[in-house]
């Protein structure tokens, strides 16, 4: 395997992993607050179509990214109202949000099917031309670098800031946090909105950089993989980042195998990322101590302010 193939494979893996990083980081913050939002897939696909539609009509990819994040946050606001104010079940509401998001994206995207868009510009001028190292380190679009910065920022926020410690306290024992004066619902609202914006950003990346076009259902289950990544990472940001790259690599394996002409059914290769998701969840779930030590104790539990 020559260097050109290695470089192309690494670049493709990073591109495939980036939307998973964004969505997983957002959901990790949501779950750290004690909320389980299964609507990541719906928020991602709404973010994807809103970003694409905005970029096509305005000619600005940056504006598309902002609108994609706002769309994801808007959908998460609906989830927050239902679960935090109206006390709806987290699991049922999240599933409904995904179904709603898929239908809404199909409605909005009806007039954009088949249209194409120039992908986000890649590479840092001058540096990306350095042999081998240049493309690997400096040949990416800006959101790839932002995903690395965001991972570090989330890790720092959770472990080094007072606000992050309060967020974790709410997720571990919301009644205790409420009793000492913290607004549990307000904190969870902010976490949910952040998670929605990050899911929308992940969707925007898919339609503006990974596959710069709109096709119904183009997120293809990445929201569910992002949810699995949070458990795989045992609620640790950098583990989620590495897990996203692992899954990105599994996604790209099918392209490499097909490129070498190995006779394996394409349908089986397409199943690989989801098979890997199931295997990882089974392996992680067997270590109940690890999950119990890291999972927020109040995850998915409703909070009644009257307590």
Determine which of 32-36, 92-96, 153-157, 216-220 has the lowest per-residue pLDDT on average: 216-220
Task: For residues 279-296, give the mean pLDDT.
Answer: 73
Expressed in percent and rounded to 5, the helix, strand and coil fractions of the chain are 75, 0, 25
Q: What pLDDT is recorded for position 289? A: 67
Residue 164 has pLDDT above 80, yes or no: yes
Q: Is residue 290 over pLDDT 70? A: no
pLDDT surpassing 80 at residue 256: no
Pick the CATH number of 3-294 from 2.40.128, 1.10.10, 1.10.3470, 3.90.550: 1.10.3470
Upper half-sphere CA count for residue 147 (Cβ side, 13 Å): 26
Give the percent of the chain with pLDDT over 90.
59
pLDDT at residue 261, rounded to an integer: 66
Q: Residue 20: which pLDDT band, with cuts at 50, 70 and 90?
A: very high
Among residues 20, 25, 39, 36, which one has the least CA distance to residue 157? 25
pLDDT of residue 98: 97
- Between CA 49 and CA 18 the distance in angstroms is 17
What was the pLDDT predicted at 251?
73
Identify the DSSP state of 140.
Answer: S
pLDDT digits (tens, 9 = 90+) for 50-106: 999 999 999 999 999 999 999 999 999 999 999 999 999 999 999 999 999 999 999
Sign (positive or negative) of CA dihedral 293, 249, 116, 61 = positive
Residue 187: pLDDT over 80: yes
Q: Output the pLDDT for position 115.
A: 85
Cα–Cα dist 75/143, whole Å: 22
Chain mean pLDDT for the chain:
88
pLDDT, tens digit (0-9, with 9 covering 90-100), for 119-132: 888 877 777 778 77
Look at residue 158 in the predicted model and tell me its pLDDT: 96
Q: Of the ranges 10-19, 235-244, 246-255, which one carries the lowest mean pLDDT score?
A: 246-255
- Write down the pLDDT at residue 197: 98
Summarize the confidence of residues 175-187 as an average pLDDT.
93
* pTM for this prediction: 0.92
Nearest to 73 by CA among 242, 246, 217, 203: 203
Structure tokens, 109:
């995207």
pLDDT, one tens digit per residue, over 27-58 is: 999 999 999 999 999 999 999 999 999 999 99
Q: Which residue has the higher pLDDT, 292 or 77?
A: 77
User: What are the structure tokens assigned to 240, written together?
Assistant: 């989620």
pLDDT at 63 (0 to 100): 97
> Cα separation of 269 and 260, whole Å?
14
């Amino acid at each position: 395997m020559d260097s050109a193939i290695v470089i192309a494979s690494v670049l493709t893996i990073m591109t495939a992993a980036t939307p998973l990083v964004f969505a997983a980081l957002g959901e990790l913050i949501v779950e750290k607050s004690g909320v389980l939002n299964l609507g990541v897939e719906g928020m991602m696909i709404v973010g994807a179509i809103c970003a694409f539609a905005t970029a096509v009509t305005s000619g600005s990819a940056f504006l598309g990214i902002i609108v994609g994040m706002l769309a994801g946050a808007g959908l998460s606001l609906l989830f927050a109202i239902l679960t935090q104010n109206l006390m709806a079940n987290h699991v049922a509401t999240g599933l409904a949000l995904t179904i709603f998001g898929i239908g809404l994206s199909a409605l909005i995207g009806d007039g954009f099917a088949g249209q194409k868009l120039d992908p986000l510009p890649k590479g840092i001028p001058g540096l990306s031309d350095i042999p081998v190292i240049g493309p690997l380190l400096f040949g990416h679009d800006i959101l790839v670098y932002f995903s690395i910065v965001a991972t570090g920022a989330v890790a720092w926020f959770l472990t080094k800031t007072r606000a992050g410690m309060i967020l974790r306290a709410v997720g571990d024992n919301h009644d205790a946090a409420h009793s000492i004066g913290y607004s549990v619902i307000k904190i969870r609202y902010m976490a949910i909105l952040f998670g929605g914006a990050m899911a929308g950003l992940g969707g925007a990346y898919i339609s503006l950089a990974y596959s710069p076009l709109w096709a119904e259902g183009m997120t293809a289950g990445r929201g569910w993989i992002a949810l699995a990544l949070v458990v795989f990472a045992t609620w640790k940001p950098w583990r989620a980042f590495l897990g996203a790259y692992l899954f990105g690599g599994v996604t790209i394996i099918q392209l490499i195998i097909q490129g070498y002409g190995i006779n394996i059914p394409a349908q089986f290769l397409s199943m690989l990322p989801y098979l890997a998701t199931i295997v990882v969840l089974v392996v992680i779930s067997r270590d109940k101590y690890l999950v119990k030590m890291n999972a927020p104790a109040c995850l998915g539990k409703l909070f009644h302010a009257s307590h």
